[in-house]
Amino acid sequence: MIDTNIGHILRACVLTIRTIPDDYWWLEKMKPGFPRCFRPVSEETTTLARMTPRFGLPFSALQSPNLLTPINLRWASPARPTDMALKRERSSSPAPPLDILRSSSVEDQKSVFVAAFSSTLSVKALQGLPEFSTATHRMAAWRKRSRQQSLMPSKKVIYDLGHDDDGEKWAGSRLRNVLNDTSAEGVVVVARWYGGQNIGPIRFTHIENCAKEAIWKWKAADEEAKREQAVKKQRLEEKKSRKELEENLRERDLNIFVLRGLLAEKTAELNDTEKAPPTPQKGPPDYSNMSMEALKRVDKARDATIAFILKGIDKVDEELKSKETFSHSKQNTEKHKDEDTSNAPKDESAKEDKN
């Protein structure tokens, strides 16, 4: 029986036999002696063998239904990425609106300046925005937190700084200074469409102003987003605390009902009377329609009610204990009195006998 690995090798040799050099003529001599399971079994497989590279198989040959046994993948050429995979590599998902903030355009003698700022995108991604594709220059600067940590024990943050002039000399360094002055963390890109006329140093003013506007817009949007998030978090916390307060009030209403029944039972025991029937109660209040302030007031009232009932129960318990003590002492007194009465005739008879 032929070993599986040898079989794989022989099979690959059969598929490549029509493309190998003449120096390997001995494979042609060995071909008739190969087991049939290692030969191409159709014209389609033979055609694939003619198209096979010298030391491997094309990806389509590996998926041919006419191959009877699996081929060792080490003989196969690496598979090419599919069209769908290439599309996924080329296309990038659009960034959320907050990730890119743009300035208004500034026009000076047919030259137009527009800036964009992002705290999450890379320099290439921001420079590659579709609206900047026709720009003459796309100056950029970045200021992002470094992954490196300082050796000093201080908590000082280390930043990665850099810039790209993109043909507009000194523009990138000016943008980097803007990032430092505004303490912004991210990437800023200023695109310029050259209008054909030199406008002099004023161009740097336009570049800096556009960058500052984009950064300011991003900071304003970021503050608004944080404020909305804080408000949302506060609402959730208030909703949670309100729900807990409503549940506590319902539990306290039940506790008050039980404690009142216990107080009535002890009072009846103290007075040696039957327990009075419970006073008909109204339905439980609808706490869901009350404001938070009203719920807090009701909560304080329930605390006072429970404290009052517990105080009444303690008082009745003390009276019951005193009553029980008095009853025991009275019984003992009567018992001793009865004993003294029963012992008196015996003493008199004893005296008469002595006489």
CB 54 within 8 A of CB 34: no
Give the model confidence (pLDDT) of 300-318 as tens digits.
999 999 999 999 999 888 8
Rounded to 5 degrees, what are φ and ψ at 164? -140, 115
- Given this model, what pLDDT does residue 321 score? 86
Residue 351 — very low, low, confident or very high, per pLDDT cuts 50/70/90?
A: low
Give the model confidence (pLDDT) of 74-94 as tens digits.
333 334 444 444 444 444 444
Alpha-carbon span 230 to 263, nearest angstrom:
48
Give the model confidence (pLDDT) of 252-268 as tens digits.
999 988 998 888 888 88
CA-nearest of 98, 157, 164 to 128 is: 164
Alpha-carbon span 240 to 41, nearest angstrom:
73
CB 182 within 8 A of CB 160: no
Predicted model pTM: 0.51
Rounded to 5 degrees, what are φ and ψ at 185? -110, 115
Tell me the pLDDT of the chain averaged across its residues. 75
Domains of the chain with bracketed CATH: 4-75 (no CATH), 97-223 (3.30.230.30)
**Res. 226: pLDDT tops 50:** yes
